[in-house]
Structure 1
């Protein structure tokens, strides 16, 4: 009695549905889980043929299935552990896994069906299939997109390769032209410069101010054109990687004094270059040619962009393993909007007007300083002048 009550409690509280039928396929019992699945009350099902819980075509062939099971002992269609469809009271279908067993009870056969609802599993499978389908579609789209991208990249690569070849050819032509033009122009310029000096010398006894004035113009024009050619030639060598720093020991003060004396000769009327060195050390190990070019360029700009009757301060300092060179003027200054472009090749500030120049000088200075592991900085105010500072480590 106690075992029967326990078995009844187990069946009543089972998660899966449990239905028993007799040999005529009439329902003898149905547990609460099965009632909930099929949406029936027990009295609506008990005594009726089990086929009421089956959709077509299983309903029409149910008796045939039962007869076959009785003869062979195998549930061909109903199946043990097979997936079948159930029919709810409201007409909706749902999938479930059915297990059937035969029980001998009181001299007769009872068939017990164990029903495990598969609705959630099937829904999850459908969701996964949908995700898989979407993923396959997305992968296909991405594959096509990547194929197009690869084709475009291949085409772009070919175009870039062709462009690089053309650019390389143009670079070589440009390099040859600049080199040739620079050297070819130097010869007539030297002749013009020499002729102007001779005219100046031979005209001295006549003391004619007009001759002196025009000869001076010729010399200035020649000097400007020579400077332009030098800038182009320097840039061409830098672009071609032909410039390398050649470090050697030299006296910074002596070199600076020579530069000051040389630049004072081309200064404007009553322009004075004031040179001063700070510190007791003057011997440095740098590239004297690169350094000289940097200083000449900066002092030349100070002369060019400052007026007459002005001072240009040129300072050097050697201390704490650093060589510092400063050139300061009180000229036109650099507009703030132009300062970020100052070291770009061919760039000139908007306030330079008719003052001659190529826009290459500061670009070359910055690159020469970089070749010596140094850098160039500046501060500038319009109409108040500019301070350029070159800092180079001496390690």
Structure 2
């Protein structure tokens, strides 16, 4: 009796459903888990054919199995671990895995069905299928989008290549034009310069102020045109990557004194360029031509944008780490709104008025300084002057 009670307790508390039927398919017992799965009570199914818990066409097939058994005496066992469908009393169905075993008891055969609900597994599988289908759809869309993007990139690449080729052609044309213009402009400018000098020489005996005045204007205009031409040539070389840096040791003080003497001759009336050097050494390892261009440009600007009876400070300093070049004037200064654009090509401050210039000089200076690993900075206030500082690291 104790074993029987234990067996009944195990069956009643089993997680899976357990149903027993006789040889004719009549339900003899059903445990609580099976009742919960089929939404039924034991009284509703015990004594009835097991087919009441089967949806079509499983019900008709089961009836055929019973009739065959009655004719032949050979039972049909669905098999172990088969997936089948159950019919609840409310008309809904659910999937389950069925395992059937045959037991001989009291001179008769009893069949026990073990029912494992697959609803959650099937729902998960369906979700996975839907997710997989969604992923496939996304992949297809993304693939299509990627193909369109690749095609667009291919077309863009062709357009860019075409544009670059055109730009390259324009670059060659510009380079040829600048070279041609250089030659064509320099020849007449040299002739004008020579002629003005000869006029000045031949006019000396006449001691005519008007002649000297106009000859000076001619020379000044020739100088301005030459400076403009040089700026365009320098910019063209920078844009074409033709500027080569050739750093060699040279005496900075000697170069600075030559520049000071040269530019003092073109300074305004009573303008003085004051040069001073500090440091125990005067030798630097830079590109002398590029540095000279930078300094001349900055001092020339200081001369242009400062009035008569002023002085321009030109300072050089060599420390253990840097070579520092400073040009300070007391001129018109640079407006705050213009300062952020100062090193852009062709930019000129709004307060320059009729003072001639191309707006290229500072752009060229900054680029030359970078080519020599230097950097340029400035401070400026309106009508209080400007300080430019170029710093080069000592290698």
User: Is the Cα–Cα contact under 8 Å of residues 39 and 89 in structure 1 kept in the other structure?
Assistant: yes
Which position in structure 1 is the counterpart of 2:27?
Answer: 27
Which position in structure 2 is the counterpart of 1:287?
Answer: 287
State yes or no: 1:326 paired with 2:326. yes
State the alpha-carbon separation in 2 of the partners of residues 329 and 233 from structure 1. 27
Residue 67 (structure 1) shift: 4.4
Q: Compared with structure 1, are the counterparts of its residues 335 and 80 closer, same or farther at alpha carbon in structure 2 (3 Å cutoff)? A: same
Residue 68 (structure 1) shift: 4.7
Cα deviation 1:313-366 (Å, max 9, x = unaligned): 110001113211001112222223322222222222233222221121112111
The 5 Å alignment of 1:79-90 reads 79-90=79-90
Residue 381 (structure 1) shift: 2.0
CA RMSD of aligned residues (A): 1.7
Which position in structure 2 is the counterpart of 1:260?
Answer: 260
Cα deviation 1:122-157 (Å, max 9, x = unaligned): 100111111111111110011110101111111111
Which position in structure 2 is the counterpart of 1:164?
Answer: 164
Q: Compared with structure 1, are the counterparts of its residues 85 and 17 closer, same or farther at alpha carbon in structure 2 (3 Å cutoff)? A: same
SS at match of 1:60: helix
Residue 71 (structure 1) shift: 5.0
Gaps of 5+ in 1: none
State the alpha-carbon separation in 2 of the partners of residues 74 and 313 from structure 1. 115
Gaps of 5+ in 2: none
Deviates more, 1:3-12 or 1:250-259: 3-12
Residue 89 (structure 1) shift: 1.8
User: Is the Cα–Cα contact under 8 Å of residues 286 and 394 in structure 1 kept in the other structure?
Assistant: no
SS at match of 2:59: coil
Which position in structure 2 is the counterpart of 1:133?
Answer: 133
Residue 73 (structure 1) shift: 4.8
Residue 25 (structure 1) shift: 1.4
User: Is the Cα–Cα contact under 8 Å of residues 274 and 313 in structure 1 kept in the other structure?
Assistant: yes
State the alpha-carbon separation in 2 of the partners of residues 334 and 131 from structure 1. 66
User: Is the Cα–Cα contact under 8 Å of residues 378 and 386 in structure 2 kept in the other structure?
Assistant: yes
Q: TM-score, with normalisation over the residues of structure 2? A: 0.95
Q: Compared with structure 1, are the counterparts of its residues 71 and 374 closer, same or farther at alpha carbon in structure 2 (3 Å cutoff)? A: farther
Which position in structure 2 is the counterpart of 1:48?
Answer: 48
Which position in structure 1 is the counterpart of 2:13?
Answer: 13
State the alpha-carbon separation in 2 of the partners of residues 307 and 45 from structure 1. 117
Q: TM-score, with normalisation over the residues of structure 1? A: 0.95
Cα deviation 1:102-134 (Å, max 9, x = unaligned): 111111111111111111011001111111111
State the alpha-carbon separation in 2 of the partners of residues 71 and 158 from structure 1. 83
